[in-house]
Amino acid sequence: MRGTSATLRRSQHHVFHNRRWLRSASTKRKGNALSSQANPPRSGNTPPVTLTAHGLVVDAATTLAAVYARFAIAGAFALADLFASDPGANCYIEPPAPADPSPEAREAVIPPPGAVRIASLAASGIAAAATAAGCDSAVHRVWADRIGATFASEPRLIEALRIGTGWRYLRINPTRTGTGGLITRGEVVSGNYLVLSAGLGDPLVRFVARIEQIPTRDLLATTPGFAAETITATCPRCRRQWTASGGRPVFTPSSHDGIEWGLDSAGDLGLVTNTVACPVEVCPGRVGFTAAGGQA
């Protein structure tokens, strides 16, 4: 995979970023198997809020990383490797092996008889190909942001992929000369997986996590660091506080004698400090922002 294979072999916990992999946890290799321990969730942790010339933004990938850290267990390497395939690669899911196959016979024909080409490297496309190949697989949506209803930098999509019967995939990467191809294989074990994506149209897969049980929407919404629906504005000088929800930067006061204000009317935007001048006229303080609350 174009210079990333070494990283893929070393890492069990991984994240997509512009179709490349970044390590997110160290692993130990025992023989040919990889073992790892998921990052424990950190209580009370919230994603950073960035003030830009266009508004307030919570980085979507950072919130997905929080979900990954809370739920991931070891075992997603092969499936994540499949999602990381180059766009020009041809990927197939092989049918269950016959009762008495020899390795030579099974790999003599590329792709093997009965293999199903994966039409789309999305969770739904992989599940459909696995089912067509005779393997028990299913996918359903667990979370999908309503566009424009959160402060997330991109709409987030979380899908649960259930693999009842493990399967092998075959990937053919065309060579630069246009003749032949580099062939790689992987074996995906049965289990439950979360596919964490962000973006409009064809969302980019950022994380793939094997999990023990599929979380509910309510459980996802309470995951520390996943919040992107509500932003709290606080001035430490006058100790006033406001909240904005639903992706609209209009702040409502927490106290009955406070004033409502919008980010478009805020003064002295500090794009480096992520603060604005306090809207209370007699206060010389600066207002900072934190994210809180999920979109259940």
Q: Is residue 58 in a domain?
A: no
**Cβ proximity of 220 and 294 under 8 Å:** yes
269 in the same domain as 170:
no
Q: How far apart are CA 149 and CA 129, in angstroms?
A: 33
Categorize the per-residue pLDDT at 101 as very low, low, confident or very high, splitting at 50, 70 and 90: low
183 in the same domain as 236:
no
- Beta carbons within 10 angstroms of residue 253's beta carbon: 17
Q: Is residue 65 in a domain?
A: no
pLDDT at 106: 56
- Final residue of a domain: which of 160, 192, 216? 216
Categorize the per-residue pLDDT at 144 as very low, low, confident or very high, splitting at 50, 70 and 90: very high
DSSP for 15-33 reads EEETTEEEEEE--EEETTE
pLDDT at 227: 87
**Cβ proximity of 196 and 206 under 8 Å:** yes
pLDDT at 194: 97
Is the pLDDT at 97 greater than 80? The verdict is no
Please state the domain count of the chain. 2
Q: How far apart are CA 47 and CA 155, in angstroms?
A: 15
- Final residue of a domain: which of 185, 216, 247? 216
Beta bridge partner(s), residue 231: 244, 291
pLDDT top residue among 113 and 288: 288
- Final residue of a domain: which of 182, 216, 250? 216
DSSP 180: S
- Encode pLDDT of 48-59 as tens digits: 899 998 899 999
98 in the same domain as 27:
yes
Residues 6+ apart with CB under 8 A from 267: 276, 277, 279
Give 273's Cβ-side CA count (13 Å radius).
Answer: 9
251 in the same domain as 207:
no
H helix and E strand count, the chain: 6, 20
pLDDT at 113: 86
Q: How far apart are CA 21 and CA 15, in angstroms?
A: 6
79 in the same domain as 189:
yes
SS3 290: strand
Host domain of residue 245: 230-292
CA distances to 63, 188, 226, 268 from 273, rounded to whole Å, are 21, 45, 22, 11
Averaged pLDDT, 269-290: 94
- Encode pLDDT of 203-231 as tens digits: 999 999 999 999 999 999 999 999 899 99
**Cβ proximity of 60 and 48 under 8 Å:** no
- Encode pLDDT of 61-92 as tens digits: 999 999 999 999 988 999 999 999 998 899 99
Residue for token pair 């999908």: 144
Q: Is residue 63 in a domain?
A: no
- Beta carbons within 10 angstroms of residue 168's beta carbon: 20
Categorize the per-residue pLDDT at 18 as very low, low, confident or very high, splitting at 50, 70 and 90: very low
pLDDT at 23: 29
